[in-house]
Amino acid sequence: MTRSSDAPKAALTRLFIARFSNGSLFEIRFDPTRVSEITRDKLPWPVTDRDWGIILGRLRAIAIESGRRMPASKPRKPGRIKAPPGSRISAFSEYCLSQKVRERIVIPVISDMREEYYAALASRRRVLAVAVKIRGGASLCVALVGHYTLALLLKWLVGAFASGSGSSR
């Protein structure tokens, strides 16, 4: 458990109190503009890996607060804005599919895929998220093929019955 507070006397000195795993309290006074210079070997007492992790985390937070970054932290890639999965298919279906098929088949399949995709991303399972996208596309293909095959089959059956009853008269 850690807590930090500003030192009342020196404006540049920050006081950081850490309660370590052995229950003891330590005080670290440091200059927030020179946070990156603090290394494990510079500490006046030996610390465990866990405690050093706590100190490092807190120091990084303070460094970010004061507008500086620790050199240990990797520079992040700039974020990429992506369209949600299925948005292109949804837009394309507006032109080539009927409103009924769109509302009853295309949109429910895409919304289910998105639900699963975002759930996978939220649990940091990126491979699963990609698998969900592939499975969603396959489901949509199966659904559309199934729908149109069934419609054709029904049309053919109705036509066959109609012609059969016509010829029997």
Partner 1 sequence: MAPKNQDSPVRLSGKEYQILEMLIRNGEMYGLQMVQESNGALARGTVYVMLDRMEDKGLIESRKDNKPLGMSGLPRRLYKPTGYGAKVVRHWARLQDLAALAPQRV
Tell me which residues touch partner 1 (CB under 8 A).
Answer: 84, 86, 90, 103-105, 107-112, 114-116, 135-136, 138-143, 146-147, 150
Residue 106: HSE in the Cβ half-sphere, 13 Å Cα cutoff: 20
In sequence order, which residues have a C-beta less than 8 Å from that of residue 132 and are 6 or more positions away? 113, 116, 117, 120
Closest contact distance (angstroms) between CB of 133 and partner 1 is 13
Closest contact distance (angstroms) between CB of 116 and partner 1 is 7
Q: How far apart are CA 169 and CA 160, in angstroms?
A: 15
Q: Which is nearer to partner 1, 20 or 136 (CB)?
A: 136
Number of C-beta neighbours around residue 55 at 10 A: 20
Q: How far apart are CA 51 and CA 58, in angstroms?
A: 11
Q: How far apart are CA 154 and CA 42, in angstroms?
A: 81
Closest contact distance (angstroms) between CB of 130 and partner 1 is 16
Q: Which is nearer to partner 1, 59 or 86 (CB)?
A: 86
Q: Which is nearer to partner 1, 18 or 109 (CB)?
A: 109
Q: Which is nearer to partner 1, 63 or 110 (CB)?
A: 110
Closest contact distance (angstroms) between CB of 131 and partner 1 is 13
